[in-house]
Chain A
Amino acid sequence: AQSVAQPEDQVNVAEGNPLTVKCTYSVSGNPYLFWYVQYPNRGLQFLLKYITGDNLVKGSYGFEAEFNKSQTSFHLKKPSALVSDSALYFCAVRDGSGGYQKVTFGTGTKLQVIP
């Protein structure tokens, strides 16, 4: 079984400050981890992924995420938040072992960047 948790329903941050959106996961095998962003009335947009390799993953729009195996976390970060980053963020996980397994999405975190 696999699961992902996003403990914060909403994160508020001032424009220009660093932001972190938290995600923890649980899988039996090796995790494939993803972050997506959703703007109002739009589909999900892929930001970044971790499959293997360097624990610090860089993605689109200046976002990055750090894979921490011991803490089973994959937090999304950005050094300087923009008002345009305000959106709904989803973390997702897939067990990388074995055959096809569906991606499990977290419940989402609403990011509000305050001007």
Chain B
Amino acid sequence: DTEVTQTPKHLVMGMTNKKSLKCEQHMGHRAMYWYKQKAKKPPELMFVYSYEKLSINESVPSRFSPECPNSSLLNLHLHALQPEDSALYLCASSHGTGEPQHFGDGTRLSIL
């Protein structure tokens, strides 16, 4: 069982929809991450939150909007996505930004 919980597991949305991905951890980790992963490729870092503040934005398009409401939760708000945004979106957390990351099982997103 993973200690990082992501919902939903699957999401299909049209290009005009607005949806949100959710991530939760209760390990007391203070760093949380969003990654995008295409099939058989390594994860690509999107955002890093450290102590609930956005510390890294890897030049991600504004149609992706992260939010960290508290130390246990991380959201990714989606709006006007493109077909090329279809991917597995992974959330991870760690004690510090140099420590091993614990990953959730991801949300598989399909854009119609």
Contacts and interface: CB of A to CB of B under 8 A. Distances in A.
Given A32-B98, A43-B104, A108-B40, A102 B45 contact: yes
A108 B106 CA distance: 18
A106 B4 contact: no
Interface residues of B, number: 25
Contact of B48 (A43, A90, A102): A102
A44 B50 contact: no
A46 B102 contact: yes
Interface in A57-86: none
Contacts, number: 55
Contacts of A44: 43, 90, 92, 101, 103
A106 B106 contact: no
A36 B90 CA distance: 14
A85 to B, nearest CB: 18
B98 A94 contact: yes
Interface string B70-104: 00000000000000000000101000011011111
Interface of B: 2, 4, 6, 40-43, 45, 48, 50, 55-56, 58, 90, 92, 97-98, 100-106, 108
Interface of A: 32, 34, 36, 41-46, 49, 88, 90, 94, 96, 100-103, 105-108, 110
Which 8 A-B pairs rank lowest in CB-CB distance, beginning with the nearest? A43-B103, A105-B42, A46-B100, A44-B103, A100-B97, A43-B105, A43-B104, A42-B105
